[in-house]
Amino acid sequence: MTGAAVRAPSPADDIAEVLVDADAIRAKVAELGARIAADYGGKDPVLVSLLKGALPFLADLMRQVPIRLSLDFIEVSSYGSSTESSGVVRILKDLAQPIEGRRVLVVEDIIDTGFTLRYVMDHLQQQKPESVRLVALLDKPARRIVPIGIDYKGFEIPDRFVVGYGLDYAERYRNLPFIGVLKPEVYNRA
């Protein structure tokens, strides 16, 4: 018996629209990496990535910054499995190494309301680094409640719920190579 093979559902099937394709992401990451390398050459910064969403961005970005640097990670929670930040930020994993006197560059996937980033930036400042600056792949200013200065900004996006390239909904869609708008019926059925 022969028949057409049944295609397994793909995470891309749940995407309504691609906002930023993989080629645009690659080009922007290279541009940001060149700027960071120029600004931090000879300064041995520590890149602090927020887990889990910023991990793909960090991996690609650090390869575009050909200078001495180190990495560390902080994991926070403010969303759970919702599409809206709860406004309550919890540190799930703190830095492994001290940052006192270091130049810190926080690597974040998306700046939304600003609550999470403000909490993280304040937490890092309490550890007395020489400086703390921010690189964000995506900026969603329409949702901003807490002002956040972005030193290195990738893309400004509209107020849509996006997934892909590290961004998730209920721990899914992080593996998409682009930034896409999730179909509302996906999160409305939860």
Residue with tokens 């093979």: 5
Q: In what order do the strands lie in the sheet with 103-111?
A: 90-93, 70-77, 46-51, 103-111, 131-139, 152-156
Note the pLDDT of residue 85. Answer: 54
Q: Say which residue, 107 or 3, is predicted with more confidence.
A: 107
Query: Which of 32, 100, 20, 82 lies closest to 62 in space, CA to CA?
Result: 32
Is the sign of the CA dihedral 63, 134, 170, 92 positive or negative?
positive
User: One of 60, 112, 139, 168 is an active-site residue; which one?
Assistant: 112
Note the pLDDT of residue 69. Answer: 97
Q: Model pTM?
A: 0.89
Give pLDDT tens digits for 1-46. Answer: 555 677 777 888 999 999 999 999 999 999 999 999 999 999 999 9
Token readout for 97 is 């190494």
Percent residues over pLDDT 90 in the chain: 79
Return d(Cα 114, Cα 85) in angstroms, integer. 10
Among this protein's residues, is 112 annotated catalytic?
A: yes
Residues 6+ apart with CB under 8 A from 96: 72, 73
Give pLDDT tens digits for 82-100. Answer: 555 556 788 999 999 999 9
Domains of the chain in sequence order: 22-158 (3.40.50.2020)
| DSSP SS3 for 142 | helix
Mean pLDDT of 118-124: 95
Note the pLDDT of residue 77. Answer: 81
